[in-house]
Amino acid sequence: MLLVTVDDAILDFAHELPCPAVIVNGDDPGMRLSSVTPCNRSAAALATRHLIELGHRRIAFMNKPGRRTILRRFEGWKDVLADDFDPRLTIEVEDWTAEAARRSVTKALESGLEFTAIVAAGDILAAGAIAALQSAGWKVPGEISVLGIDGLPQGQYLSPALSTVKIPMHAVGALSLDLLCETVRLRSAGVDLPARRIELACDLIPRASCGPCPT
C-alpha cells in the first residue's frame, strides 16, 4: 500500500495492516512505517538562506498549519533565521489558495507588519502574496521579494516569474514504489527490515521575484 496525505489515524490504521505500506511525501514520526519524502526542512532553509544572501533579515513565512510536511518547512525557515527569528513574521492562511494568501498578506500589510521578503510554504501561496503586494502598490522584487516552495511549472509564467525551491516529486513517487516492491520481495524471502525514511534534496530555482534587500 502507498499512502498519500496521511494523518495520525491513517498511520495507526496502516501500521496494523498485514501488508507492507510506504508513505509518499510524508513521514511517520514514530518510524513505524517506511517513507519517501523531500527534505522539507532543508528546502525552506535553502529558500531562507538565499534571501539572507540577498541582504534580507525581515523575512516573513506564509504558513497553512495542519500538515506535518509544512511544519517541517516552518522549522527550516526558523532554523536559518536563528537570532533574527520573530514569531510575528508568521503569516497564516486559511486555505491552500492564492485568494486566501492574498487576503492574509493584505491583512498583514494593513496591520503595519514590516518585512522585506516572504518565504511561502507553497507556490500557490506565493502567487497570492505577489498579487496582494502589487495591489497595495509594493514593487516585487524592488521593495519586497517573494520565494515559493514546490517548483510548480506555472510559477515561471507569473509576473514577475516566481523564484522557488523545486520539490523532486517524480523521484519521490518512483522511489516510493521501488521501496514498496523491495519490501514485498524481502518479506517473501523471510527478511523483515526496520522501517526506513528516505529524504531527497531539493533545488533552488532563482527567478525574477527575488532581489537584493532595499536599502
- The predicted model gives 204-209 an average pLDDT of 97
* Closest-CA residue to 84 (of 112, 107, 55, 64): 55
Q: What is the pLDDT of residues 33-44, one digit of tens each?
A: 999 999 999 999
pLDDT for the residue 84: 87
Domain ranges of the chain: 2-38+168-200, 40-167
Give the distance between the most distant pair of CA atoms in the chain: 65
Return the C-alpha cell found at 7: 494523518
Q: What is the pLDDT of residues 122-139, one digit of tens each?
A: 999 999 999 999 999 999
pTM (two decimals):
0.91
Q: Which residues contact 146 (CB under 8 A, 6 or more apart)?
A: 117, 118, 120, 126, 129, 130, 133, 140, 162, 163, 209, 210
Half-sphere exposure of 32 (CA within 13 A, CB side): 10
pLDDT at 215 over 90: no
Asked which of 36-45, 49-58, 185-194 is least confident by mean pLDDT, the reply is 185-194
- H or E stretch covering 117: strand 117-120
- H or E stretch covering 52: helix 40-53
Q: Would you say domain 40-167 falls under CATH 3.40.50.2300?
A: yes
DSSP state of 152: -
Interatomic CA distance for residues 6 and 161, integer angstroms: 32
